[in-house]
Structure 1
Amino acid sequence: MAIRLRLLSLILVSLFYSGCASTPTLSRSQVFEEYERISYLQRRMNEDRVNDLFDLAPVGFAAAQSKLAEAIVLGQKRNDAGVAEKVAEVDQLLDKAESDATRSKRLMREVLEARQLAIAAGADTMLKERFELLDEKLRKASTLVEKGDIEDAKKWRPEMLQGYSDVELDALKQDATENARQDIAQATESEADEYSPKTLKRALEELALSVAVLETNRTQREKAKNHALQASRLARRSVEITEMIKDFKRREYTMEEIILWYQKQISLISEPTGDELHFDQPNHEVVTALRNKLVNYTEIQQAELATRMDLQSRLEAVERENREAQARFDKIQDLFSSYEANVYRQGHNVLLELRAFNFPSGGSDIQSENFALLDKIVTAVKSFPNPDVVVSGHTDSVGGADVNQQLSQRRAETVASFLEKVGGVARNHITAIGYGESRPVANNETERGRKSNRRIEVLIINE
C-alpha cells in the first residue's frame, strides 16, 4: 500500500512539473515587447486590414494570421528558434498576400470604386445582407487571383459591379424616402385615401419624383430629399384633413356650422392686428383684407424688431468699448508708480499727470533719468489705435508769469518732440501747450505745493 502511495505521489509530481513546463512564461503583451519582429508583423497586418487588403487576398492573409498566432505562442514559451522560423514564414506569406491584393485591386478597380460609393451611401448598414453577399463574391474572385486564375476572376466583375451599383441606388432611395414612406403609410392607415385623396395623391407624386431624381442622377441627393420632405408634409397634412373631416362627421356639423367654424379660425388669426374682419363681405375680400392686415402688421413688427436689434447692437458696442477702455486704462495705470504719475480716466481718454520730470532749473532739456518715464508714456500712447495727444506744461508761481509761460511751453514742446522722434507718434497728432502757473493743482505757498504744480500732463484722446 505504501509503495502504491509513493508511486502515485511521484506521478502527480511529474504531472505537475510537466504542466508547469508547458505553461507559457510570457504574456501576449510581453511577447510584443520582447520580440520586435512579431510586433512589426502585427502592425503591418493591422495596416493591411485598415487598407481593406484582407478581402483582396483572403487565403494569403488567413495563412499569415495563423502563422503569426503560432509565432506568438512560441514566443510565450520563449522558443526563440521556433519564433524565428515562424516569423520568416509570416514574412513570406505577407509579401505574397500584399502582392496578390495589389493585383486584385488593379483587376477590380471599377468594382472597388462602386463598392466605396455604396459604402458612402450607407449600403453596408442599411442593406447589410446584400452588401455582405457582394463582399463574399469579391473574396471568391480575389481567391481566384491568388491561385493565378485571372480570367476566371474577371468573369465576376460585371455581376459585382452591377450589384454594388444597385445597393448604392437602393440605399440612396431608402435614405431619402424612408420617412416619407412611413408618413404615407400612416396616412393610408388613417383612411386619407378616402377622406383626403387629392392631398395624398400629391404626396405620392412627390415621393415618385424623389425616386426618379436619384434614378436619373445619383448626385442630386439634396433635390431628392427635398421632394421626399414635401411628400412627408403632404402626407401629414392629409392625415390632419382626414381627422378634421371625421370630427365634423362625428359632431354632425352642417355646412353652415363648418363655415362658421372656419370664420372663427381666421378671426383668431386676425386678433393680433386689433382689427375686426367683416364676414358680411365676399370671402375673397375677407381673405384679401386679412392678408393686407397681416402684411402691414408684419412690417410693423419687423421694423420694431429691427429697431430693437439696432439698439441692442449699439448697447453691446458701447459696453464693449467701455470694457476695452477700462482694460486699457488698467494696463496704463499699472505702468506708472504713484511717485511717477497720477492716471485718470476721462471717458475713453486717459490723462497722465506726470510729477517725476526733473528739468534743470529754468531749463527744458530732458534729463537721462527721465528716459524710462518717457518710454512708459510712449507705451501708454501706443495702447490706443490712432490717438491724438495733448502735452501740457505747468510751473509753480516762482519767477514771474511771462517767464513761466515760456518755460512751460518749451518743456511741453520738448516732451512732444520726444514722442515724435523717439516714440514714433505722428507730429500732426501731437499738440504742445504751455500753461505756465495758470493752472495750479496745489498751494504755491509751500514747497510741497510748488513741487506738485511743476508738472507735465499728457492727455491721450481716443474719441
Structure 2
Amino acid sequence: MMKSALTVIAIPLVLFVILSACATPVLQPIEDKTASMKITIEEINKFAKIIEKARQEQLHILSPHWFAKAEASYGKAKSKAEKGAAVTDIREDMADATTYLINSEKSAAVARTTLAQAIESRRLARVAGATVLVKQYDKVEERFLKLAAAVEKNRISYTEKNAPKVSEAFRDLELIAIKNKTIGEVGKVVQQAEDSGAKKYAPQALEKAQRHFSETDEFITANRYETVEMQKRVDKAMFFAKRAIVLTDLNKQLEKVTSEGTSLWVEGIIEKITFNLLARDSRDLDMDSQVMNILDSIAALQENNKLITQKLVSTQNELEETKTASNTQIQALSQALASYQSKSIQDQKTKEHILAEKKATETKLESERQFNQKFIKIQNYFRSNEAEVYKRGNQLIIRLKGMKFPVGQAFIMPENYRLLSKVQRAIGEFENPSAVIEGHTDSTGLKETNDILSRQRANAVKEYLIANGTLPVNKIASRGYGSEKPLASNATPEGREANRRIDVIVTPGFKPGKS
C-alpha cells in the first residue's frame, strides 16, 4: 500500500520535472503570449492537484520543511500568473516547487520507514478521537513533528532512538480517548452516586458499581480493540452505576416514611403486578402467599405460551406435510419422465429440456424462499430509527439511518457498536456472502471534501467489519459517493440528514431467482 502511494505521487512529479527541465532551456519564444500563459496556467492547475495528493499522503507532516517550501513556491507562481507576470518567472517558481516537493517525498519515504510504528500509533490515536485531548495531544504531536524534522536533517539515529517513546505516547493517548468514549460516562455516573450519598444509603450497591467500573477499566486497558465485549462490560457497569443512584434515592425517601407507609408502598406495587397478571387480589394474605400468587400467575402465562409454541410447531409440521406432498408430486413427474421412452433425437432433446426446466424451477423457488426468509428475519433485527432493510434483485440493502459520525470526521463512535453488531449478524445469515459499504453525504461544503469524507466513512465501517471477523478482506469493499446519490432534497435539514448515511449492500453466495 505504501509503495503504491509513493508511486502515485512520485511518477507525476518526476514527469513534471523532466518536462520542465527539458522544455524550459530549449523552448523557443512563442509568438502568441496568450497561448503561452494558458499553457502555464494549466501546469499550475495540474500542480495544485499534485500538492493536494501530497497533502493527503501526509507529506506536510512527514516532511514539513520541504513541503512548506514547495507550497510557498507554488503560491508565488500562482500569484504571478494571476498578476500576468512573465511566463519565464512563473516557470522558475514552478520548477523550484517541483524540486522541493520531490525532496519532500524522498524525506517522507525515509520517515515512513524510520517512524513506521509511531505513524501507525498516531493514526490509531486520531481514529480513537485523541485530538480532543488538545493539550496532551499537541505535546505528543510536537514531539512527532520534531522527529520528522530530524529525518529531513538526516539525524536518523536521533529519530530511531526517540521514535519508540513517541509511539508509546500516542498509544497512551489512544487508550485515554477510548476510555473517555466508552467508560468515561460510567465514571461520571459512579461519581454522581457517591455525591448523592450512596456510601451512606446504598453502600453495597455503590461497591458493586465501583467494582464493575474498575474491572471494565482494566479490561479496556488490556483489550482496547475488543469492541463487542468492551461494550457489553460498559453497559453492565452503567447498569450498576445507575442502580446505585436509584437505590440511594429510594432509601432517602424511605427514611422519611413510617413503617406502615413502607408496607403500603410495597403492597401497592404488588397490587399493580397482580392486576396486570389478571391474578386475584391477595392483599388479605401474608407476604409469602402474595408472592406465591404472583409466581403462580406467571407460571400459568408461561404454560399458555408453551401451548402457543406447540401450536406454532403443529402449524410448521402442517407446512412440512404440504412440502412433502409437493415433493411427492415432483417425484411423480420425475417418474413419469423416467417412464417416457423416446426413440428419436428430438424426443430426447424434449426430455432434457423438461428436466432442465424442472431443475431450474426447483432451484429458483428454493433460493427465493431462503432469501425471503432471511430478509424477513433481518428486518426484525433493526428498530425503525436504526436501519431500513430492502431487497434489490439478488441483493440485500441495509440503510443505516442510526449510524452517526462526528461532524467532518470518519471514526466510529462506541454508540455505533451495537448497531454494527446487528449488521454483523445480518451478514452472517448468508452463506459465503460479499458486501459493499457505500458512504453518502449531503451537499453541504465542497464536493471534493464530501467525496473524501464519504470514502473515509465507508472505509471505517469496512475496516470495523474486517477487524471483527465479519468478512475476509477479499469479500468486502467500500465506496464513497459524496453527495451524488441523495435520497431527499438537500434544501431542508431533514433531507440533509436522510442523505448523510451508510448503505451496506450484501450479496449472498447464491442468487435468488436465478438458475
TM-score bucket of the superposed structures, by smaller chain: 0.5 to 0.7
Instruction: Verify the 8 A CA contact 1:187 1:239 in the aligned structure 2.
Output: yes
State the alpha-carbon separation in 1 of the partners of residues 223 and 289 from structure 2. 46
Query: Which of the residues 230, 233, 251 maps onto 2:236?
Result: 230
State the alpha-carbon separation in 2 of the partners of residues 305 and 62 from structure 1. 72
Q: Does 1:108 align with 2:123?
A: no
Query: Which of the residues 291, 300, 318 maps onto 2:295?
Result: 291
State the alpha-carbon separation in 2 of the partners of residues 287 and 162 from structure 1. 58
Partner of residue 266, structure 1: 270
1:253 is matched by which residue type in structure 2?
A: T
- Counterparts in 2 of 1:141 and 1:425: CA distance versus 1, 3 Å: closer
2:233 is matched by which residue type in structure 1?
A: H
Structure 1 residues 225-283: Cα deviation after superposition (integer angstroms, max 9, x where no partner) = 32222222222222222222222333x322x4312321321221122332225456664
Instruction: Verify the 8 A CA contact 2:117 2:167 in the aligned structure 1.
Output: yes
- Counterparts in 2 of 1:303 and 1:60: CA distance versus 1, 3 Å: farther
Structure 1 residues 49-96: Cα deviation after superposition (integer angstroms, max 9, x where no partner) = 112221110000000000000010121115211111111111111111
1:110 is matched by which residue type in structure 2?
A: Q
- Counterparts in 2 of 1:95 and 1:114: CA distance versus 1, 3 Å: same
Structure 1 residues 406-427: Cα deviation after superposition (integer angstroms, max 9, x where no partner) = xxxxxxxxxxxx999889668x
State the alpha-carbon separation in 2 of the partners of residues 48 and 174 from structure 1. 33
Write out aligned runs for 1:51-450 (5 A): 51-76=57-82, 77-125=84-132, 127-250=133-256, 252-254=257-259, 256-276=260-280, 278=282, 283-284=287-288, 286-300=290-304
State the alpha-carbon separation in 2 of the partners of residues 166 and 297 from structure 1. 53
Partner of residue 342, structure 1: none
Instruction: Verify the 8 A CA contact 2:212 2:236 in the aligned structure 1.
Output: yes
Instruction: Verify the 8 A CA contact 1:56 1:138 in the aligned structure 2.
Output: no
Instruction: Verify the 8 A CA contact 1:176 1:221 in the aligned structure 2.
Output: no
1:244 is matched by which residue type in structure 2?
A: L
Instruction: Verify the 8 A CA contact 2:182 2:231 in the aligned structure 1.
Output: yes
1:172 is matched by which residue type in structure 2?
A: I
- Counterparts in 2 of 1:303 and 1:272: CA distance versus 1, 3 Å: farther
Structure 1 residues 301-325: Cα deviation after superposition (integer angstroms, max 9, x where no partner) = 57669979999xx9xxxxxxxxxxx
State the alpha-carbon separation in 1 of the partners of residues 292 and 40 from structure 2. 87
Instruction: Verify the 8 A CA contact 1:33 1:39 in the aligned structure 2.
Output: no
2:182 is matched by which residue type in structure 1?
A: A
Instruction: Verify the 8 A CA contact 1:180 1:231 in the aligned structure 2.
Output: yes
Structure 1 residues 309-352: Cα deviation after superposition (integer angstroms, max 9, x where no partner) = 999xx9xxxxxxxxxxxxxxxxxxxxxxxxxxxxxxxxxxxxxx
State the alpha-carbon separation in 2 of the partners of residues 258 and 175 from structure 1. 40
State the alpha-carbon separation in 1 of the partners of residues 314 and 66 from structure 2. 71
- Counterparts in 2 of 1:128 and 1:305: CA distance versus 1, 3 Å: farther
Q: Which runs of 5+ in 2 are unaligned?
A: 1-32, 319-329, 334-345, 359-515
What SS class does the counterpart of residue 183 from structure 2 fall into?
helix
1:50 is matched by which residue type in structure 2?
A: Q
State the alpha-carbon separation in 2 of the partners of residues 221 and 296 from structure 1. 41
What SS class does the counterpart of residue 279 from structure 2 fall into?
coil
- Counterparts in 2 of 1:175 and 1:309: CA distance versus 1, 3 Å: farther
2:232 is matched by which residue type in structure 1?
A: N
State the alpha-carbon separation in 1 of the partners of residues 241 and 310 from structure 2. 37
Instruction: Verify the 8 A CA contact 2:63 2:149 in the aligned structure 1.
Output: yes
Instruction: Verify the 8 A CA contact 2:73 2:97 in the aligned structure 1.
Output: yes
Instruction: Verify the 8 A CA contact 2:40 2:91 in the aligned structure 1.
Output: no
State the alpha-carbon separation in 2 of the partners of residues 246 and 52 from structure 1. 58
Q: Which runs of 5+ in 1 are unaligned?
A: 1-24, 315-384, 389-417, 430-463
Instruction: Verify the 8 A CA contact 2:130 2:177 in the aligned structure 1.
Output: yes
Instruction: Verify the 8 A CA contact 2:189 2:238 in the aligned structure 1.
Output: yes
What SS class does the counterpart of residue 156 from structure 1 fall into?
helix
Partner of residue 44, structure 1: 50
Instruction: Verify the 8 A CA contact 2:279 2:293 in the aligned structure 1.
Output: no
- Counterparts in 2 of 1:56 and 1:310: CA distance versus 1, 3 Å: farther
Structure 1 residues 382-432: Cα deviation after superposition (integer angstroms, max 9, x where no partner) = xxx99x9xxxxxxxxxxxxxxxxxxxxxxxxxxxxx999889668xx9xxx
Instruction: Verify the 8 A CA contact 1:122 1:171 in the aligned structure 2.
Output: yes
| Higher gyration radius (CA) | 1
Instruction: Verify the 8 A CA contact 1:53 1:98 in the aligned structure 2.
Output: yes
Instruction: Verify the 8 A CA contact 1:213 1:220 in the aligned structure 2.
Output: no
State the alpha-carbon separation in 2 of the partners of residues 235 and 176 from structure 1. 14
- Counterparts in 2 of 1:59 and 1:309: CA distance versus 1, 3 Å: farther
1:170 is matched by which residue type in structure 2?
A: I
1:89 is matched by which residue type in structure 2?
A: D
- Counterparts in 2 of 1:276 and 1:171: CA distance versus 1, 3 Å: same
State the alpha-carbon separation in 2 of the partners of residues 289 and 32 from structure 1. 92
2:52 is matched by which residue type in structure 1?
A: N
